[in-house]
Amino acid sequence: MFFNLIPKEFNFFDLFEKQVSYAVEAAAAFKELTAKGKIDEQGIERIRSIEHQGDDVAHTIIDQLNKTFITPFDREDIHALAKELDDVIDMINTIVNRMMVYKITNVNKNLVAFASAIEESVQAVACMVKAMRNMKNAKAISESCVEINRLENVGDTMRDKVLAELFDTEKNPIEVIKWKEIYQDSETVLDICEDVAHVVSSIMVKQA
Q: At closest approach, how far in Å is the CB of 66 from a second copy?
A: 4
Least distance (Å) from a second copy to the CB of residue 112? 21
37 in the Ramachandran plot: left (φ > 0), alpha (ψ -120 to 50) or beta? Answer: left
Interface with a second copy, residue 56, by CB under 8 A? no
The reply on whether position 45 binds a second copy by CB under 8 A is no
Q: Where are the alpha helices (DSSP H) in 37-74?
A: 41-67
**137 CB-contact burial (10 Å; exposed 0-12 / middle 13-18 / buried 19+):** middle
Rg (CA), the chain: 18
- Judged by CB under 8 A, the residue of 66, 108, 134, 153 near a second copy is 66
Smallest separation (angstroms) from a second copy to the CB of 162: 10
Q: In the window 148-207, what residues touch a second copy (CB under 8 A)? A: 160, 163-164, 167-168, 173-174, 176-178, 180, 198, 202, 205-206
Rounded CA gap, 177 and 165, in Å? Answer: 14
**Per CB under 8 A, does 14 bind a second copy?**
no
| C-alpha to C-alpha distances, 142 to 68, 115, 204, nearest whole angstrom | 29, 24, 10
140 lines the binding site for a second copy (CB under 8 A)? no
State the minimum distance, in angstroms, from the CB of residue 25 to a second copy. Answer: 21
Q: Which stretch binds a second copy (CB under 8 A): 19-27, 93-101, 106-114, 120-128?
A: 93-101
| In contact, 192 and 91? CB cutoff 8 Å | yes
Residue from the set 102, 107, 116, 137 that interacts with a second copy by CB under 8 A? 102
68 phi and psi, to 5 degrees? -105, 135
Contacts of 114 (CB under 8 A, 6+ apart): 34, 155, 158, 183, 186, 187, 189
Total residues interacting with a second copy, rule: CB under 8 A: 27
The residues of the shown chain that bind a second copy, judged by CB under 8 A, are 1, 62-63, 66-67, 76, 97, 100-103, 160, 163-164, 167-168, 173-174, 176-178, 180, 198, 202, 205-206, 208
